[in-house]
A and B are shown apart, each in its own frame.
Chain A
Amino acid sequence: MPRELLDKQLLGLHDRLLALGSEVQENLGVAAKSLTQRDMVAAHNIIVGDDWINEKWITIMHDCLRLIATQQPMASDMRFVTMVMQIAGELERINDYAKGIARITELLGKETAVPPTPQLPQMAELAQAMLRDALLAFSRRDDVAARQVPKRDDAVDALFNQVYRELLVWASEDPERWQVANYLEWAAHNLERAADRVSNICEWVVYTVTGKYKELS
């Protein structure tokens, strides 16, 4: 093994991306919970914490570029570094969705006329589980597992359509309700997009293992 330094740096990127992914996975759940429980402290923490996530994303990008410049990775190493950069970007965006949901928690504030939306925590749970499995597939470089994850996106989409319709019906009964319905639709949309981003992560895992990029969702 004449490339110990490169291997060490690649492993370091792997570990840090996984750590970032775990945080984002957690944040997605906390954000959704802040919404259903109207937990302003949790929402605030997510919003403030987004800067921290961005910081980590930029550091990973920077280290990838430095590794390319100093180590000249080739073939599967090069694909791995490309994947890390892409996945780090997807994670950063997923955290933006978490932050968006936390913002909506703040906007709803103490509003009492809020309909039950059991689909939202369900969507968050599904997206979180998808993200966890995508990160596992990344860590194990398991393209077979990575191909399976995006199939679960249909369930998220179904919940989204359901909550969207219900909110439409609920809001149409009283013009005063439009604002709140709009907020909740945005929260649902953020969760739906977060799951889409997980599919992108899986596509990069497949690319890294096989050398071929293929749309999975």
Chain B
Amino acid sequence: MILDFKGRHIISIKQFTKEELEYILKAANQMEKYYKTGSDLLKGKILATLFFEPSTRTRLSFTSAMYKLGGEVISLSNPEMSSIKKGENLTDTISVVQSYADVIVLRHELEGSAKLMSEVSQIPIINGGSGTKEHPTQAMLDLLTIKNEMNGKIDGLKIAICGDLKYGRTVKSLAYALSHYDVELYFVSPPSLRMRHEVISDLHSLNVKFKELNDLSEIIPELDILYVTRIQSERFPDPADYAKVKGSYRIDVSMLNRAKENLKILHPLPRVEEIDYEVDHTKYARYFQQAYYGVILRMALLALVLGGSF
């Protein structure tokens, strides 16, 4: 069955049904051939990347994705050098940029910014990460990684999501994405960084099986997927409090001695201290592979919202 995404905004993972997500993941895998050879699928189309917050992966992978499909990219990645400095608000910015491009990827610090811009813009807005709440394309590429790395299967997996669950936007989007599947989730964090009340409330309503834990080591032997996020030192005003917790969520080779053979470790990156560099060379580490999945996923999204046929 063909689903039509042409002209749609990609704002929140919550706006998609399971059927739509599976369709997007399938489209991403179909992009592999274009990833290798390039394509003219989106020739003549322009992507505007508007990043008001730092980004390496999201911005570059969208840029790469657009070029691989034959399109062009214009970008605003330094707001200090734009009319934002003169006090122009985001609504006016988008109202103008929509005349320069066919699709916009937006990252902004304010929560709900992508949602509001989808009500303003006449061209598709793709949320590249707003505030601390949403990162839908990251969740989709995380799903794609899990699916492809676990032989096409997500149902039945035991998945730990670990680290900063309160402020980390990737973990919330991922939890919602996984709510479509029959999985067991473990949210592992210091007590002060638990998953937000709104997300917990939604997961209860969706009858998702999950537990909240302080300690990762007790569940390592059971896990199929370990999704690690950075605990930011800046969230702890007292450095001593940070020092107490950061070690608890540091993944090293000795911790993995009790892990399942086919455990996969994911991380949205950037990684600081939470995964030891020696883990990178083990069979468990798939966080750099995630970067590749991110490109083909974003190629699929751009092709779908711009109506390219493939």
Are A and B a genuine interacting pair, yes or no? no
